[in-house]
Structure formats: structure tokens, C-alpha cells
Amino acid sequence: MLMAGKNVLVVNDLNFESEVMNSDQPVLVDFTATWCGPCRQIAPFIDQLADEYAGRAKVVKLDIDESPSTAARFGIRGVPTLYVFKGGRIVAQQQGAAPKTILARLIDTGIGA
């Protein structure tokens, strides 16, 4: 089970389409796994960004082990992988752990796209 802050939504194969692809806001998707050390390292940044961008962008986590078809659909090979979706399209991406400032820039790209 993924741990997530109060403004972070946990998505899966069943609700990815409605929560991410059909969202009217940009969405930062953290493709993650419970066993992933670097994922745990950036988890506090993800939670902070969800709070800071509340109302302007959505922040969601998807466990690749619990939602293999969505992970396969986007060719996720390693975690953490972060994508920003806007209007159902990927507008920014980051593979591997990154500082909070880099992750914020991803969301800003989505807001400006």
C-alpha cells in the first residue's frame, strides 16, 4: 500500500483514465513502487508539491506493481518516473529521483503548456 500525503491521490488501472487523462488540470504522475528506495526519498517532495499546487495541478501516485497495465501503456521501465499530463498528453517527464525544484519545474511546465 502506498503512503501519500493528504493532497496526493493514489490512482490505479481502474481510475487512471478519469483522474489523469480526463483531468481539466495538469497532473503530475509519480510512477512508483513500495520497494523503491529513491521513490521513498522523493515522497516528501511529492507530498509538499501536492500541497503547494493544490487547486492548480493534481499530484497522483501510481504503484507499478498494483497497476501493471497502466505502467506498460506508458513504457515505464524504472521507478521513480514522473510524467506531467495535460489534456491527456505528456508535456513533461523526469526519470529517476530529482530535487524538489526540478519536480516543481515539471508541474510549472504543465501549467504553462
Beta strands, E only, 1-113: 8-11, 27-32, 58-63, 81-86, 89-95
CA angle 67, 84, 66 (to 5 degrees): 10
Total domains, the chain: 1
What is the C-alpha separation between 113 and 100, in angstroms, rounded? 20
pLDDT in tens, the chain (113 residues): 677 889 999 999 999 999 999 999 999 999 999 999 999 999 999 999 999 999 999 999 999 999 999 999 999 999 999 999 999 999 999 999 999 999 999 999 999 96
In a domain, 2, yes or no: no
In a domain, 1, yes or no: no
Known catalytic residues? 36, 39
H/E stretch holding 103: helix 100-112
Enclosing domain of residue 74:
8-112
CATH of the domain at 85: 3.40.30.10
In a domain, 53, yes or no: yes
Q: How distant is the alpha carbon of residue 28 from its chain centre?
A: 4
In a domain, 68, yes or no: yes
Dihedral of CA atoms 87, 24, 5, 12 in degrees, nearest 10, equals -60
